[in-house]
Amino acid sequence: MGRTRIVKGTYRKISAKGHSIYSNESIITTAGKEVTETGMKNGVSYSNPLKFVSNEVSVLKCPKCSEAITSKLIRKTLGVKTLSRKQTTIIDSFLPYRNKYKSNFGLDTCLRKAHFIAQIALESANFSTFEEGEEWW
Protein backbone atom coordinates (compact mmCIF):
# COMPACT_ATOMS: atom_id res chain seq x y z
CA MET A 1 0.00 0.00 0.00
CA GLY A 2 1.32 3.46 -0.77
CA ARG A 3 0.26 7.04 -0.56
CA THR A 4 1.50 10.15 -2.33
CA ARG A 5 0.54 13.61 -1.14
CA ILE A 6 1.22 16.58 -3.43
CA VAL A 7 0.59 19.98 -1.95
CA LYS A 8 0.99 23.27 -3.83
CA GLY A 9 1.29 25.39 -0.75
CA THR A 10 1.75 24.88 2.96
CA TYR A 11 1.19 21.47 4.48
CA ARG A 12 0.77 21.56 8.24
CA LYS A 13 -0.01 18.85 10.78
CA ILE A 14 -1.24 19.89 14.20
CA SER A 15 -1.75 17.32 16.92
CA ALA A 16 -3.16 18.12 20.36
CA LYS A 17 -1.39 15.18 21.98
CA GLY A 18 1.12 13.13 20.02
CA HIS A 19 2.07 12.31 16.47
CA SER A 20 3.92 9.11 15.58
CA ILE A 21 5.29 7.94 12.26
CA TYR A 22 6.24 4.28 11.78
CA SER A 23 7.93 2.49 8.92
CA ASN A 24 9.42 -0.98 8.49
CA GLU A 25 11.86 0.62 6.07
CA SER A 26 13.12 4.20 5.64
CA ILE A 27 11.40 7.50 6.34
CA ILE A 28 12.73 10.11 3.92
CA THR A 29 12.13 13.82 4.36
CA THR A 30 13.21 16.14 1.55
CA ALA A 31 12.89 19.90 1.44
CA GLY A 32 13.91 22.59 -1.03
CA LYS A 33 15.31 24.73 1.79
CA GLU A 34 15.48 23.15 5.24
CA VAL A 35 13.93 20.57 7.55
CA THR A 36 13.33 21.85 11.08
CA GLU A 37 12.48 19.73 14.11
CA THR A 38 11.87 21.47 17.41
CA GLY A 39 10.99 19.95 20.75
CA MET A 40 9.69 22.80 22.91
CA LYS A 41 10.03 21.03 26.26
CA ASN A 42 12.58 18.24 25.98
CA GLY A 43 14.24 18.88 22.64
CA VAL A 44 14.18 16.34 19.83
CA SER A 45 14.92 12.71 20.58
CA TYR A 46 15.51 9.69 18.39
CA SER A 47 15.24 6.09 19.51
CA ASN A 48 15.96 2.59 18.28
CA PRO A 49 13.24 2.26 15.60
CA LEU A 50 12.73 -1.49 15.86
CA LYS A 51 12.25 -1.41 19.61
CA PHE A 52 10.08 1.72 19.46
CA VAL A 53 7.80 0.41 16.70
CA SER A 54 7.27 -2.99 18.31
CA ASN A 55 6.28 -1.38 21.62
CA GLU A 56 3.86 1.05 19.95
CA VAL A 57 2.24 -1.43 17.56
CA SER A 58 1.33 -3.82 20.38
CA VAL A 59 -0.59 -0.99 22.04
CA LEU A 60 -2.68 -0.46 18.90
CA LYS A 61 -4.13 -4.00 18.98
CA CYS A 62 -7.07 -5.28 20.99
CA PRO A 63 -8.60 -8.76 21.36
CA LYS A 64 -11.03 -8.01 18.51
CA CYS A 65 -8.24 -7.20 16.04
CA SER A 66 -7.72 -10.88 15.23
CA GLU A 67 -11.44 -11.64 14.80
CA ALA A 68 -12.85 -12.33 11.35
CA ILE A 69 -14.97 -9.77 9.53
CA THR A 70 -18.60 -10.89 9.37
CA SER A 71 -21.69 -9.78 7.46
CA LYS A 72 -23.07 -8.43 10.74
CA LEU A 73 -19.97 -6.25 11.26
CA ILE A 74 -20.24 -4.91 7.71
CA ARG A 75 -23.95 -4.17 8.19
CA LYS A 76 -23.18 -2.25 11.39
CA THR A 77 -20.35 -0.38 9.66
CA LEU A 78 -22.72 0.65 6.85
CA GLY A 79 -25.24 1.80 9.46
CA VAL A 80 -28.16 -0.19 8.05
CA LYS A 81 -30.60 -2.52 9.81
CA THR A 82 -30.71 -5.11 7.04
CA LEU A 83 -28.81 -5.98 3.90
CA SER A 84 -30.50 -6.72 0.59
CA ARG A 85 -30.25 -10.21 -0.89
CA LYS A 86 -27.80 -8.87 -3.50
CA GLN A 87 -25.61 -7.21 -0.84
CA THR A 88 -25.58 -10.41 1.22
CA THR A 89 -24.62 -12.49 -1.83
CA ILE A 90 -21.76 -10.13 -2.73
CA ILE A 91 -20.46 -9.95 0.84
CA ASP A 92 -20.70 -13.70 1.38
CA SER A 93 -18.77 -14.30 -1.86
CA PHE A 94 -15.62 -12.44 -0.75
CA LEU A 95 -15.60 -12.78 3.06
CA PRO A 96 -14.08 -16.27 3.21
CA TYR A 97 -11.14 -15.10 1.08
CA ARG A 98 -10.73 -11.84 2.96
CA ASN A 99 -10.61 -13.65 6.28
CA LYS A 100 -8.32 -16.39 4.97
CA TYR A 101 -5.74 -13.96 3.55
CA LYS A 102 -6.09 -11.07 6.03
CA SER A 103 -2.56 -11.40 7.38
CA ASN A 104 -1.09 -11.42 3.85
CA PHE A 105 -2.50 -7.92 3.34
CA GLY A 106 -1.83 -6.51 6.81
CA LEU A 107 -5.51 -6.41 7.82
CA ASP A 108 -4.67 -7.25 11.41
CA THR A 109 -5.99 -4.31 13.42
CA CYS A 110 -9.50 -2.95 13.95
CA LEU A 111 -8.50 0.31 12.28
CA ARG A 112 -7.17 -1.44 9.17
CA LYS A 113 -10.28 -3.63 8.98
CA ALA A 114 -12.50 -0.53 9.23
CA HIS A 115 -10.55 1.22 6.46
CA PHE A 116 -10.80 -1.89 4.28
CA ILE A 117 -14.58 -2.14 4.77
CA ALA A 118 -15.05 1.57 4.04
CA GLN A 119 -12.94 1.40 0.88
CA ILE A 120 -14.66 -1.64 -0.61
CA ALA A 121 -18.08 -0.31 0.38
CA LEU A 122 -17.31 2.87 -1.57
CA GLU A 123 -15.96 1.02 -4.60
CA SER A 124 -18.90 -1.39 -4.74
CA ALA A 125 -21.73 1.13 -4.10
CA ASN A 126 -22.31 -0.34 -0.62
CA PHE A 127 -21.87 -3.91 -1.86
CA SER A 128 -24.51 -3.66 -4.57
CA THR A 129 -22.26 -4.27 -7.59
CA PHE A 130 -18.97 -5.80 -8.67
CA GLU A 131 -18.70 -3.48 -11.67
CA GLU A 132 -17.48 0.07 -11.79
CA GLY A 133 -19.42 2.52 -13.89
CA GLU A 134 -20.27 6.19 -14.12
CA GLU A 135 -23.50 5.75 -12.15
CA TRP A 136 -22.09 3.93 -9.11
CA TRP A 137 -21.21 7.10 -7.21
Q: Are 34 and 82 contacting, i.e. CB atoms less than 8 angstroms apart?
A: no
Note the helical H segments in the chain.
49-59, 71-78, 85-100, 110-123
Tens of pLDDT, residue by residue over 73-131, are: 888 888 888 999 999 999 999 889 888 888 888 888 888 888 888 888 888 888 888 77
Q: Is the pLDDT of residue 133 over 70?
A: no
74: number of Cβ within 10 Å: 20
Orientation of helix 110-123 relative to helix 71-78, angle to 10°: 70
